[in-house]
Structure 1
Amino acid sequence: MIGLGCARAPLPSRGPLPLRAVALPLLLVPPATLLAVSYVHPLYVDRYVLYAYVGLALLLGAALERLARTRRVVAGGLAVLSVAALLPYSVQLRTPQSRIDDPLAAARTVRELTRPGDGVLFLPARRREPIMSSPGDFRGLRELALARHAIPSGTLHGIELPAPSIRARMLTAGRIVTVNDPPGQPLDDTPQERMKRAVLTRYFHRCAVRDVTGMRIVLYARPGRC
């Protein structure tokens, strides 16, 4: 709405296209398109369309420039107010608490709960962010489900083994640490994920649970080995 309001004002036009013809579509089209697609399949995440706010910056800047030519005190006051209003949000965005998850905290928790030779699983497989960002915290642990790493396989998170192979590997472990989605998230219904949950439920006891931002770390062990 702010962008539309600024676009209605007389804005400078020094190039082959009016400023609003560039800035307004940039502001509106990417988020609107992603929102529309999300009615079919949920994809909307604000960071995917963060670049669209360049359009808002252009419109605001042009409106302030025009205002400054006629009412410099008002324009200066609005600029100061804008910075003051955005400063707390800008500072908060640069803290770990602003993230929906904290892979570094998850990796540290894995290191605290485990010892060399323990197995590690990611439930679901896309929860591999901690080991990708802090591989040193996983040194000495055995990845029980991974078949090919991300880079050699050309994927984001690597490729996992078939479900029977994951079961066989899990049964060789005395203790397994798992990196999970936070409570309340839907469970992935792939054969690999179903097998991981089934083996843990049948053959292992839950020894410790630690919650970090956006993830849950659980240590499992064979009966009597917690």
Structure 2
Amino acid sequence: MTDLEIVRVAALTDNYIWLIHDPVADETVVVDPGEATPALAEATRRGWTIGQVWNTHWHDDHTGGNAEVKAATDAIISGPAAEAAKIPTLDVKLAEGDSVRIGSHVAQVIAAPGHTAGHILFHLAGDAVLLAGDTLFAMGCGRLFEGTPEQMFANMQHLATLPDETQVFCAHEYTQSNGRYALVAEPDNSDIVARMRDVDALRAAGEATVPTTIALERATNPFLRAADVQQLAKRRAEKDSFRG
């Protein structure tokens, strides 16, 4: 069980910014600040000082607050080396096999191209925490804006091997729409039916549906469950035009 405090901060339309705090080291990281104001306000409210920014990819709804956070806190900004040209605020360039730290907690960098060409994930294995950006969602995966089905299938295959208890902190509240498609993709999957009852109830109450877990995704995520590249590609294309 991790002693890290991980706080969800709602931003923009449906983004989640994650604040990670190590109470022992009194260090705080903000992950994918699409806008600075809510992240800075929540950190201030809790008496935390942001010292680092971790970016998973270059899209503005994940990096748009970088400059303002840095101006306010002098935080060190780390993100994908392959997208450094698109993230002008970047201080530390990361690639597969690199690591970053918060206090004594180590996050290994996993390359996960697909949604964007240089997307990375942060895996704190010792804490059973995965910061998934826009690669793995609750019952979904990221759109293939710059990558291929082969790349996303490889990502899903890798993430499916993580321990069941791994908590997945994704960057959007997409669960309800993803689940509606999942019911179509796997209409006989009773786990999806049961999960959607919970999701619909949470959303009706105005509650968030993430983080999720690898165990839950392995049971209900049609992209993580895809048998091969062809099935993932078919499901991704269907989801892109799905209006259910």
> What TM-score comes out, normalization by structure 2 length?
0.26
Higher strand share: 2
Query: Rg larger in 1 or in 2?
Result: 1
> What TM-score comes out, normalization by structure 1 length?
0.28
Higher helix share: 1
Q: Select the structure with the greater relative contact order (CA < 8 A; seq sep ≥ 6).
A: 1
